[in-house]
């Protein structure tokens, strides 16, 4: 089992504190400095996908600079990947997707993060909808209540809220991103009782990897 990990950050002290506790293989770790030019979480993760493909690894691990690891240095999370039969595995007890791993096959099926959600917001729901459609039917109708497992390990958040939002004052244009999400999927991101469209923009010619470059 091989892996690539990506760590974007906007606050250098958070990143250094995270890295000081992390024992991931340094050649497998891509650290992206968004402190001066914030390309956003989506583009950062997409750079991680590029490295994953270039290195030919099995998993992409996305992590937040607010994560702190205990004595295991995160190698307990790597050990879970070694034995997991899941397509996605998430670290429990953390805010959002602060420690989450995707098999390469996930990106082969649904493509990259949609960068129209930069710097953040609704991108995770967009990825979940695409994941459901790729692995649980054309509208995700066969998905389980829990799409993947959360594993407990020796890690925690240094900040219960996303540190880049709370400490770094990173702001999203929520109205713009909400409008885009609804045009892409035909429903509000919080309205889970309404089925989203089977394909982006309800266009059967668009694969799940499609996202508008003109928005």
CA angle 200, 203, 209 (to 5 degrees): 40
Q: How many domains does the chain have?
A: 1
| Comparison of pLDDT for 13 and 102, the residue scoring more | 102
Which pTM does this prediction carry?
Answer: 0.91
Average pLDDT over residues 159-169: 55
167 within a domain of the structure (yes/no): yes
Q: Is 108 exposed, middle or buried (0-12, 13-18, 19+ CB in 10 A)?
A: exposed
Domain that holds residue 54: 3-172
210 within a domain of the structure (yes/no): no
Average of per-residue pLDDT values in the chain: 90
Q: Is the model's pLDDT at 165 over the cut of 70?
A: no
Instruction: Check residue 33 and give its pLDDT.
Output: 95
Q: Is the model's pLDDT at 191 over the cut of 90?
A: no
User: For residues 122-140, b (16+ Cβ closer than 10 Å) or e, as one string?
Assistant: bbbbbbbbbbbbbbeeeeb
55 within a domain of the structure (yes/no): yes
Q: Is the model's pLDDT at 78 over the cut of 70?
A: yes
Instruction: Check residue 158 and give its pLDDT.
Output: 87
192 within a domain of the structure (yes/no): no
Say which DSSP state 26 is in. G
CATH number of domain containing 159: 3.90.550.10
pLDDT tens-place string over residues 99-117? 999 999 999 999 999 999 8
Instruction: Check residue 192 and give its pLDDT.
Output: 78
197 within a domain of the structure (yes/no): no
Q: Is the model's pLDDT at 168 over the cut of 60?
A: no
Euclidean distance between CA atoms 86 and 103, whole angstroms: 8
Q: Is the model's pLDDT at 161 over the cut of 60?
A: no
| Comparison of pLDDT for 129 and 167, the residue scoring more | 129
188 within a domain of the structure (yes/no): no
Residue percentage of the chain with pLDDT more than 90: 71
215 within a domain of the structure (yes/no): no
Average pLDDT over residues 135-148: 79
Euclidean distance between CA atoms 5 and 64, whole angstroms: 11
Residue 22 contacts by C-beta under 8 Å, 6 or more apart in sequence? Answer: 29, 69, 73, 74
Q: Quick check: helix, strand or coil at residue 68?
A: strand
101 within a domain of the structure (yes/no): yes
pLDDT-based confidence at residue 121 (cuts at 50, 70, 90):
confident
Q: Is 148 exposed, middle or buried (0-12, 13-18, 19+ CB in 10 A)?
A: middle
Rounded to 10 deg, the angle between the 123-135 and 174-185 helix axes is: 20
Q: Is the model's pLDDT at 171 over the cut of 80?
A: no
């Amino acid at each position: 089992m091989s892996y690539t990990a990506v760590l974007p950050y906007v606050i250098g002290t958070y990143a250094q504190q995270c890295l000081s506790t992390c024992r991931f293989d340094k050649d497998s770790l891509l650290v992206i400095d968004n402190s001066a030019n914030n390309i956003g979480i989506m583009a950062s993760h997409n750079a991680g996908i590029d490295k994953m493909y270039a290195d030919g690894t099995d998993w992409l691990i996305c992590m937040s600079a607010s994560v702190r690891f205990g004595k295991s240095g995160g190698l307990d999370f790597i050990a879970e990947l070694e034995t997991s039969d899941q397509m996605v595995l998430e670290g429990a007890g953390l805010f959002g997707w602060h420690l989450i791993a995707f098999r390469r096959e996930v990106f082969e099926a649904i493509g990259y993060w949609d960068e129209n959600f930069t710097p953040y917001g609704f991108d995770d729901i967009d990825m979940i909808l695409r994941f459901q459609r790729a692995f649980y039917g054309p509208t995700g109708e066969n998905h389980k209540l829990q799409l993947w497992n959360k594993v407990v390990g020796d890690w925690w958040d240094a900040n219960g809220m996303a540190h880049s939002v709370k400490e770094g004052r990173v702001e999203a244009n929520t109205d713009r991103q909400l409008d885009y999400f609804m045009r892409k999927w035909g429903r509000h991101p919080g309205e889970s009782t309404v089925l989203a469209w089977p394909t982006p923009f309800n266009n059967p010619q668009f694969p799940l990897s499609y996202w508008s470059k003109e928005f």
